[in-house]
Amino acid sequence: MSLNPMRTGNEILLDEVSGEEASRFLDLRNLKHLVRHGEGQRLEFKMKVKFPEKIIKELVAFANSDGGHLFVGVSDDGQIEGSKFVDEDQFLLEKAISAYCFPAFSYDVYRISLENGRSVLVYHVFESIDKPHFVQLDTDPNPVCYVRVKDRTVKASKEMKQILRRENEAGLTFAYGDSEKWLMEYLRENEVITLADFALKSGLPVWLASRKLVLLVLGRVLRIEAGEQHDMYYLR
């Protein structure tokens, strides 16, 4: 089943942008500078849009994290070749975003012209206030939430999705009992812990250990780093 949210992207014609507004858009000099530093927390390169349903997870991850830029027409090793079929690339991505991403997220899309006559397609995704965002493909009945971790896009755990959903929640309270005290001491000595380790070492059932970790992250006592196998929790 595909979902069809309202599109919230803005297609920008750079020739019509001037003054202070222009400062939020990259030019070729800025593009080259960013590409030299490689992919990272807020930057992803794609040479072409061959499988748009795979690329949109990067956009969703940006919306669920700190925002970021996707460059289409830049190789993984930083070669700025541009897209030969930029209209087709944009059409395929826009179609996939509309069909498979929900809820809608905000982004700008524009092009940077190159000396070779090609263009780099730029998707600038803004950090969302409506997290979490999901991808739901026709081939998978279960929607998937993605987040950005350094230069990787990973599936969000149940705990991460709860944190994204509740991160702006007001009036949050949590208990600070023996298990929380034990956890603080453990992290001061060992730096990092996983949900499985916390449950095992503290003797808590997994559901309760999960709830306590989520509340401590929301209370800004801990920070979470998503991982492909398991999340890592650190003291702030």
The mean pLDDT of 184-198, rounded to a whole number, is 97
- Single-letter residue type at 52: P
Its pTM stands at 0.88
* Choice between 150 and 18, residue whose per-residue pLDDT is larger: 150
- Residue spans of alpha helices (H) in 9-157: 28-36, 52-64, 86-100
* DSSP H helix total and E strand total for the chain: 7, 12
- What structural domains and CATH numbers belong to the chain? 8-155 (3.30.950.30), 158-235 (1.10.10.10)
- Single-letter residue type at 123: Y
Report d(CA 47, CA 40) in Å as an integer: 16
The strand order across the sheet containing 68-72 reads 8-11, 106-113, 119-125, 68-72, 43-46
pLDDT at 5 over 50: no
User: Would you call 57 helix, strand, or coil by DSSP?
Assistant: helix
The mean pLDDT of 109-125, rounded to a whole number, is 95
pLDDT attached to residue 8: 59
pLDDT at 23 over 90: no
